[in-house]
Structure 1
Amino acid sequence: MKKLLLLGLVLSLLPVVNLEAKTNKKAAGKNSRSVFELNVAHINDHHSHLEEEKMPLKLDGKTVTVHIGGLPRVGQEIKNFRKNNKNTLVVHAGDAVTGTLYYTLFEGKADAELMNAINFDAYTLGNHEFDDGNKVLGAFLDVLKIPVVSSNVVPDKGSILEGKWKPYIIKNIGGQNVGIIGIDVVKKTKESSSPGEDIKFLDEVETARKYAKELQDKGINKIVLLSHAGYEKNVEIGQKVDGIDLIISGDTHYLLGKEFEQFGLVPEADSYPKKVNSPNGNPVYIAEAWNYSYLLGEMKAKFDKNGVITELTPAPKLLIGDDFFEVKDADGKAVQLDEKEKGKILNSIKNNKNIVAIKNDPALSKLLERYQKEKTELGKRKIGKITEEIPGGSDNRVPSEHNKDGSFATTLVAESVLYKLRNTGTGNVDFVIGNAGNVRITLNPGDFSYDLAYSLLPFTSNTVFITDVTGAEVKQILEDAIDYVLNGGSTGAFPYGAGIRYEATKEGTLGTRVKKIEVFDFKANKWIPIDAKKTYMLAVNSYIAKGKDGYTTLGKITAQKRGNDTHLSDTKMFIDYLKEKKEIGKPKSTNVIFKY
Structure 2
Amino acid sequence: MTYSLYLAHINDTHSHFEPTLVHFDVTIEQKAYQVDAYCGGYARLATAVQQHKALAKENNSASLFLHAGDSFQGSLYFSQFKGEANAHLLNLMSVDAMTIGNHEFDLGNAPVSKFVDQVNFPCLAGNMDLSQEDQQKHLPLAPHKNLYYYNNQLAIANYVLKPLGEKQLAIVGITHDQMHNIGCPDADCHFLNAIETTKATVKHLNQQGVNHIIILSHLGYEGDIALAKAVTGISVIVGGHSHTLTGEFGHLGQACTGNEGQWQNDCLILQAGKHAESIGLSCLHFDKSGKVIKLDGGTQFLIDDNWQAKQNGQVVCEQTRAQISEYLATAAGLLKCPDDQQIAEIINQQYRPVVEQMKSQVVTKLSHPLRHSRMPNQELPNGSEVSPLVCQGFYQASAAQHPTDFALHNAGGVRVSLKAGPLSKADICGRLLPFEITLMSYLLKGEDLAMVIEGAINNATNNGLMGTGDGSFPYFYKLRYRYHADKALGQRVSQIELEDEEGWQVLQPQRVYRGVSSAYTLAGKEGYDALLNSWDHHDLELSMSDSFVSFASSKEYLL
TM-score normalized by the length of structure 1: 0.63
Name 2:404's counterpart in structure 1.
none
1:260 counterpart = 2:253: no
Match of 2:175 among 177, 180, 184: 184
Q: 1:443 to 1:319 in 2, by over 3 A?
A: closer
Name 2:3's counterpart in structure 1.
36
| Distance in 2, Cα, partners of 1:311 & 1:436 | 40
- Asked if 1 retains the 8 angstrom alpha-carbon contact of 2:7 and 2:282, the reply is yes
Name 1:169's counterpart in structure 2.
160
1:285 counterpart = 2:268: yes
Name 2:461's counterpart in structure 1.
468
| Distance in 2, Cα, partners of 1:119 & 1:408 | 43
1:321 counterpart = 2:304: yes
Q: CA deviation at 1:172?
A: 1.4
Correspondence 1:49-68 to 2 at 5 A: 49-59=16-26, 60=28, 61-68=32-39
| Distance in 2, Cα, partners of 1:520 & 1:362 | 61
* 3-state SS of paired residue (2:460): strand
Q: Which runs of 5+ in 1 are unaligned?
A: 1-33, 278-282, 399-404, 421-428, 472-476, 478-494, 504-516, 530-562, 565-572, 588-596
Letter matched to residue 299 of structure 2: P
* 3-state SS of paired residue (2:241): coil
Q: CA deviation at 1:256?
A: 2.5
Letter matched to residue 317 of structure 1: Q
Q: CA deviation at 1:126?
A: 0.3
Q: CA deviation at 1:104?
A: 0.5
- Asked if 2 retains the 8 angstrom alpha-carbon contact of 1:272 and 1:314, the reply is no
Name 1:150's counterpart in structure 2.
125
Match of 1:369 among 348, 353, 378: 348
* 3-state SS of paired residue (2:305): strand
Match of 2:75 among 75, 82, 100: 100
| Distance in 1, Cα, partners of 2:346 & 2:52 | 21
Q: 1:528 to 1:36 in 2, by over 3 A?
A: farther
* 3-state SS of paired residue (1:467): helix
Q: CA deviation at 1:326?
A: 3.8
Q: CA deviation at 1:178?
A: 0.6
Match of 1:70 among 25, 30, 41: 41
- Asked if 2 retains the 8 angstrom alpha-carbon contact of 1:518 and 1:528, the reply is no
1:194 counterpart = 2:184: yes
Per-residue CA distance 1:268-320 (angstroms, 9 max, x = gap):
x222762111xxxxx11111111111221233222222223222334221221
Letter matched to residue 178 of structure 1: L
* 3-state SS of paired residue (1:197): coil
Q: Which runs of 5+ in 2 are unaligned?
A: 149-157, 373-381, 398-407, 436-455, 465-469, 483-491, 508-525, 528-539, 555-559
Q: CA deviation at 1:62?
A: 1.5
| Distance in 1, Cα, partners of 2:541 & 2:34 | 34
Q: 1:180 to 1:393 in 2, by over 3 A?
A: farther
* 3-state SS of paired residue (1:172): strand
Per-residue CA distance 1:452-474 (angstroms, 9 max, x = gap):
624883899xxx99721669xxx
Q: CA deviation at 1:321?
A: 1.8
Per-residue CA distance 1:211-244 (angstroms, 9 max, x = gap):
2222222221100000101111211111122321
Q: CA deviation at 1:364?
A: 1.6
Q: 1:196 to 1:297 in 2, by over 3 A?
A: same
Correspondence 1:188-587 to 2 at 5 A: 189-257=179-247, 259-267=248-256, 269-271=257-259, 274-277=262-265, 283-326=266-309, 340-376=319-355, 379=358, 392-394=366-368, 411-413=388-390, 432=411, 438-440=417-419, 450-451=425-426, 453-454=428-429, 457=432, 467-468=460-461, 498=476, 521=496, 576-577=543-544, 579=546, 584=551
* 3-state SS of paired residue (1:438): coil
Identity %: 25
- Asked if 1 retains the 8 angstrom alpha-carbon contact of 2:370 and 2:417, the reply is no
- Asked if 2 retains the 8 angstrom alpha-carbon contact of 1:410 and 1:439, the reply is no
Q: 1:524 to 1:298 in 2, by over 3 A?
A: same
* 3-state SS of paired residue (1:316): strand
Q: CA deviation at 1:42?
A: 1.0
Letter matched to residue 172 of structure 2: I
- Asked if 1 retains the 8 angstrom alpha-carbon contact of 2:217 and 2:224, the reply is yes
Q: CA deviation at 1:349?
A: 2.7
Q: 1:440 to 1:527 in 2, by over 3 A?
A: farther
| Distance in 2, Cα, partners of 1:436 & 1:295 | 21
Q: CA deviation at 1:52?
A: 0.4
Per-residue CA distance 1:414-435 (angstroms, 9 max, x = gap):
5669999xxxxxxxx9975999
Q: CA deviation at 1:106?
A: 0.5
| Distance in 2, Cα, partners of 1:161 & 1:178 | 26
| Distance in 1, Cα, partners of 2:480 & 2:167 | 63
| Distance in 1, Cα, partners of 2:289 & 2:338 | 40
Q: 1:314 to 1:225 in 2, by over 3 A?
A: same
Moved more, 430-439 or 347-356: 430-439
Greater Cα radius of gyration, structure 1 or 2: 1
- Asked if 2 retains the 8 angstrom alpha-carbon contact of 1:57 and 1:65, the reply is yes
* 3-state SS of paired residue (2:274): coil
Letter matched to residue 290 of structure 2: G
TM-score normalized by the length of structure 2: 0.67
Match of 1:89 among 64, 68, 71: 64
- Asked if 2 retains the 8 angstrom alpha-carbon contact of 1:275 and 1:284, the reply is yes
| Distance in 2, Cα, partners of 1:238 & 1:436 | 32
* 3-state SS of paired residue (1:112): helix
Letter matched to residue 204 of structure 2: E
| Distance in 2, Cα, partners of 1:436 & 1:203 | 30
Q: CA deviation at 1:145?
A: 1.3
- Asked if 2 retains the 8 angstrom alpha-carbon contact of 1:39 and 1:89, the reply is yes
Per-residue CA distance 1:521-575 (angstroms, 9 max, x = gap):
489998899xxxxxxxxxxxxxxxxxxxxxxxxxxxxxxxxx99xxxxxxxx997
Name 2:512's counterpart in structure 1.
none
* 3-state SS of paired residue (2:23): strand
Letter matched to residue 498 of structure 1: F
Letter matched to residue 47 of structure 2: Q
